[in-house]
A and B are shown apart, each in its own frame.
Chain A
């Protein structure tokens, strides 16, 4: 990081020696932290994914063997990848639009809007682990609330135990939290929309739906981008909730669970776990880079 000292309007020396020391320390520490905690380990993960390291012995280079194993003879991999994509699709196509709908309805200034808002985003403050436990109260087979409502005591459905069903129940629980989050972001965005735009559209005879889709929605672009990024990140990071329910087994496999299992499990397969992490990284990087490109453009236009 070089600090420009060219002679500007403010005189030849912008920073004194003391200023440079302050900058050096207070920028240095966070940069070091960021490198040590975030970027260094990211690069290390990529490097380790080409080794067969167990965390103790020698680090042995094995080329792409981990990846070959991962794709061809690790039975949990493809179900986990599918679940992550399903998670992304569900949050993106169901929970996010639902959050937008709620935001639009509340933003129209209905009565009790404050009550609705508070209730709808209350789940956002809960940890996903707690959401996982609450899900068990509702979906458990013998005493769960859902089976009590449905009244099928003869042949109760095992909502969380049935590997064909449980991912959907967990998605509902995850969406419970995600919807509120999305709604807050859109509410903030909608409040920032210039009211005269809507008035102008109304004067031109646009219907409410037309006004929303043609006028309001396009101005929400920055919020859309943030919501998109959050949706993707949440879907790829998903971990707590399935881990709280059944440690991510029996139909609830996720890539993040496989990484964790491989490193803190009994067999510490660091190299193999890293390969799974790199797959996760590659998928998220696609989205993150798109987002950053847009940010940098915005930055330059400031």
Chain B
């Protein structure tokens, strides 16, 4: 498994076949037509959402979404931001996702290091414990956690509900606890591909476990950590269920879950809803476009071994 699994630059296919003269055969044309049609079909819903969000409701309700615009404006975006305070929900998301991603990567990388680099008895059991945990459906653990969090008292300065329930702590804890499994699996596979000799040399020099982990293994894992960090951020950003169940105060919801709550305000105004959807989708789309390589590497890191 390597990070080279990210898509090759566009130049690669062209460079692979320079000697033959490029003839556009009918078969190839068919493939292009097919791929182009599918691509457009995949893009269409997003484009439609953007288009709808730029038009006033009266206009689309009278002429439908497929009509030429008389007026395009960012009014709905302004409205979504000013009336429903979307900024607040974005900040909530960051309060949850930033520590969530950092803690997950830190703990998971240490477990992965211990499992794959130290010769310990029981490391397979440990690996399985984490990996299998991540595969359980969330709804299986949601009920007991709901009860548990309601019973864990927190001081007022940590949570104004005085319990873990209805606080950011609950969502962060669940995100970290649940996602560690996936990251351990991926990082353990990645660390196995690192040359053992570097570590052995360090051990001969008397490096402690912490040094072996922090100074030697972790720097080599930078690409994998970047990939996983990108992926985990989008996952935590996109989370819907945890916040929905563990947070009851609407003002504390992260952005993805808040969108659902805002729908009451949006009633039948689908154009405002479209603007809200675009606002929520925009950060992950930007992350994706800027860090495409990392994002894909993260998704595929665990899937091709050897």
Contact = CB atoms under 8 A, between A and B. Distances in A.
A130 B141 contact: no
Interface in A67-81: none
A260 interface: yes
Q: Is the interface of B mostly helix, strand, loop or mixed?
A: helix
B67 to A, nearest CB: 8
B304 A192 contact: yes
A127 B296 contact: no
Given A26-B107, A192-B5, A264-B146, A122 B288 contact: yes
A90 interface: no
Contacts of A244: 240, 259-260
A33 B107 contact: yes
B299 A184 contact: yes
B242 to A, nearest CB: 11
B54 interface: no
A4 B121 contact: yes
Contact of B139 (A113, A189, A277): A277
Interface residues of B, number: 114
A240 to B, nearest CB: 4
A109 interface: yes
Interface in A162-196: 176, 180-181, 184-185, 187-189, 191-192
Nearest to A37: B177
B35 A105 contact: yes
Interface residues of A, number: 116
Given A3-B120, A145-B48, A187-B7, A136 B270 contact: yes
Interface stretch (A10-18, A197-205, A209-217): A10-18
A34 B244 CA distance: 21
Contacts of A8: 119
A21 to B, nearest CB: 9
In order of increasing CB-CB distance, the 4 nearest A-B pairs are: A37-B177, A127-B238, A109-B13, A188-B300
Interface of B: 1, 4-5, 7-10, 12-14, 16-17, 28, 31-32, 34-36, 38-39, 42-43, 45-46, 48-49, 52, 60-61, 64-66, 107-108, 110-111, 114, 118-122, 124, 126-148, 150, 173-174, 176-178, 180-181, 184, 192, 203, 208-210, 234, 237-241, 244-245, 256-257, 259-260, 270, 273-274, 276-277, 280-281, 284-285, 287-289, 292, 295-296, 299-300, 302-306
